[in-house]
Amino acid sequence: MTNPERLTVVVGISGGIAAYKAVGVVRGLVLAGHDVHVVATDAALRFVGRPTLEAISRNIVHSDLYEGVAQVRHVAIGQSADLIVIAPATANTLAKLATGLADDLLGTTVLASTAPVIVAPAMHTEMWQNAATVANVATLRSRGIAFVGPESGQLTGSDSGPGRMAEPDAIVAAALALVPGAPAAEGAPGADPGPAVDGAPGADPDLPTRHDLAGVRLLVSAGGTREPLDPVRFLGNRSSGKQGVALAVAARDRGAEVTLLAAHLEVPAPEGVDVVQVETAKQLAQAAAEYAQDSDVIIMAAAVADYRPASIAQTKLKKDAIGDTMTLELVKNPDILASLAANRRADQVVIGFAAETAGDTAELLRVGREKLERKGCDFLVLNRVGWLRGFAVDDNAVVVVSRGGDIVMEASGSKAAVADRILDVLRPSGS
Ligand code: CTP
């Protein structure tokens, strides 16, 4: 299931003076350990600056429906959300949500999401009490949208009455209460249980953990292979195995029977999965071919050495014998993923990974789609790597493409959260 410890939270900000208080909402959610992505309307950005929101959320702010079209961002943000918080929600935004309007990024994001949504209205009393708004609020409540506030108090200008946006800490607490198990930051906004929330879907703390992979046999490789040169040296790569292990853990937690082909993991192998240690690409190829036969899903997350030394010295290579330069002859290793895909049963799902040093997402997608075609797998998980990006860190950002090149998933956040989202492609209905 969704990792409640680190949710992907979309904070939608619409254009009211209370937008400045949305900064506190974003901050409270970040302090509680969540991955927060702001979707702001153009009007919101007239009240609060993009740099402020980016600095506080630690992510880029999305506002333009026509940005990131190649990644189908207008729906991808909503699809990846575990929780959507709209603060402030103006009368205009409530009206648009009630009618399902999708003429801006916030509208498309909400429509494309199945996550719980909570809104914090903010407007003048007359607007809040207007029959149109009352009807819109009733419609939204009937669809399970939760409300926090508004409170009664001093409004912008000299008037006062109901319409004031709830305080950020109350919004954070009410929002996190919608997701069972989501922690609030200690001593930070959100620690207070907050006001009662109407129509809160999924707020039942006794909801069972999703067990949608029960009965599925899943084979996943993780880590990086090492190709020996001599008894003390090898050719290797920088893969830590964290993402592959996170996949094994997430699949195990969702009920799958997991076999992990472990190639030099820098993290402990998880409990509750069968672990098979491998050293080289050839050993990984052998183990993969053997265990693939009994697997329903195969995920090749390991970084496999494409080449190995043509010969392995039996004793330590010595500089004296080699001289000032050294030429290594390498031979190609088998392409494990391609052969698993070529030999798979009709009912098997084969997923590959591609870590590319692409300059931008468009190039990543171009290279990834070519690779998917070449490898013949069902899905390819793409991410960008570089000297300082992608390896050994705890976060990841991926795009998953399917055969035919469609983007079926975009996810970012902790490797655990990303793993969970990757497994969702096995259950497109989200069952
Ligand atoms: N892979 C594999 N066997 C190999 C090389 C790679 O099974 N000999 C798998 C990896 O586990 C990964 C996918 O193929 O799932 C893509 O790996 P990558 O190194 O990006 O692909 P390569 O075919 O090696 O292409 P490149 O020339 O870009 O390195």
Q: What percent of the chain has pLDDT over 90?
A: 68
- Closest residue by Cα to atom 23, ligand 1, is 335
Q: Which residues line ligand 1 (CB under 6 A)?
A: 281, 300, 302, 304, 306, 333, 335-337, 352-354
Of 261, 336, 340, 384, best ligand 1 pocket probe by most atoms within 8 Å of the beta carbon: 336
Of 243, 247, 260, 304, best ligand 1 pocket probe by most atoms within 8 Å of the beta carbon: 304
- Tell me phi and psi for residue 160, to 5 degrees: -145, 160
Of 235, 300, 367, best ligand 1 pocket probe by most atoms within 8 Å of the beta carbon: 300
Residue 422 confidence class, pLDDT cut points 50, 70, 90? very high
Atom of ligand 1 nearest to the CA of 288: 7
> Looking at the predicted structure, is the pLDDT value of residue 342 above 80?
yes
Q: Which residues, in sequence order, are CB contacts of 384 under 8 Å at separation 6+? A: 355, 356, 357, 358, 361, 364, 390, 397
- Closest residue by Cα to atom 25, ligand 1, is 371
- Tell how far the Cα of 168 is from the centroid of ligand 1, in angstroms: 46
- Tell how far the Cα of 221 is from the centroid of ligand 1, in angstroms: 12
CATH of span 8-176: 3.40.50.1950
- Closest residue by Cα to atom 12, ligand 1, is 353
- Closest residue by Cα to atom 8, ligand 1, is 335
- How far apart are alpha carbons 271 and 269 in whole angstroms? 7
Selecting among 237, 333, 383, 396, the annotated active-site residue is: 237
Give the pTM.
0.57
What amino acid occupies position 350? V
- Tell how far the Cα of 336 is from the centroid of ligand 1, in angstroms: 8
Q: Beta partners for 349? A: 297
Has 237 been annotated as catalytic?
Answer: yes
Atom of ligand 1 nearest to the CA of 306: 8
Atom of ligand 1 nearest to the CA of 281: 8
Strands (E), 97-211: 117-121, 146-147, 151-154, 160-164
- The residue-averaged pLDDT of 281-306 equals 97
- Tell how far the Cα of 335 is from the centroid of ligand 1, in angstroms: 7
pLDDT of residue 184: 58
- Tell me phi and psi for residue 90, to 5 degrees: -75, 170
> Looking at the predicted structure, is the pLDDT value of residue 271 above 80?
yes
> Looking at the predicted structure, is the pLDDT value of residue 93 above 60?
yes
User: 107-130: b or e for each residue (b if 16 or more CB lie within 10 Å)?
Assistant: bbbbebbebbbbbbbbbbbebbee
Task: Answer yes or no: same fold for 8-176 and 217-429.
Answer: yes
Residue 330 confidence class, pLDDT cut points 50, 70, 90? very high
Q: Where are the domains of the chain?
A: 8-176, 217-429
Dump pLDDT digits (tens) for 45-89: 999 999 999 999 999 999 999 887 877 778 889 999 999 999 999
Residue 152 confidence class, pLDDT cut points 50, 70, 90? confident
429 compared with 77, residue with greater pLDDT: 77
- How far apart are alpha carbons 239 and 91 in whole angstroms? 50
Residue 390 confidence class, pLDDT cut points 50, 70, 90? low
- Tell how far the Cα of 393 is from the centroid of ligand 1, in angstroms: 20
Cis peptide leading into 208, omega within 30 of 0? no
- Tell how far the Cα of 212 is from the centroid of ligand 1, in angstroms: 29
Of 219, 260, 333, 335, best ligand 1 pocket probe by most atoms within 8 Å of the beta carbon: 335
Q: What is the DSSP string of 298-362?
A: EEE-SB--SEEESS--SS---HHHH-S-----EEEPP-HHHHHHHT--TT-EEEEEEEE--SSHH
What amino acid occupies position 144? G
**What class has domain 217-429?**
alpha beta
In this structure, are residues 25 and 85 in contact, taking their beta carbons and an 8 Å threshold? yes
Atom of ligand 1 nearest to the CA of 338: 7
- Closest residue by Cα to atom 14, ligand 1, is 337
Atom of ligand 1 nearest to the CA of 334: 8
Residue 389 confidence class, pLDDT cut points 50, 70, 90? low
Residue 218 confidence class, pLDDT cut points 50, 70, 90? very high
Question: Tokens 């207007």 sit at which residue?
Answer: 130
- Closest residue by Cα to atom 27, ligand 1, is 306
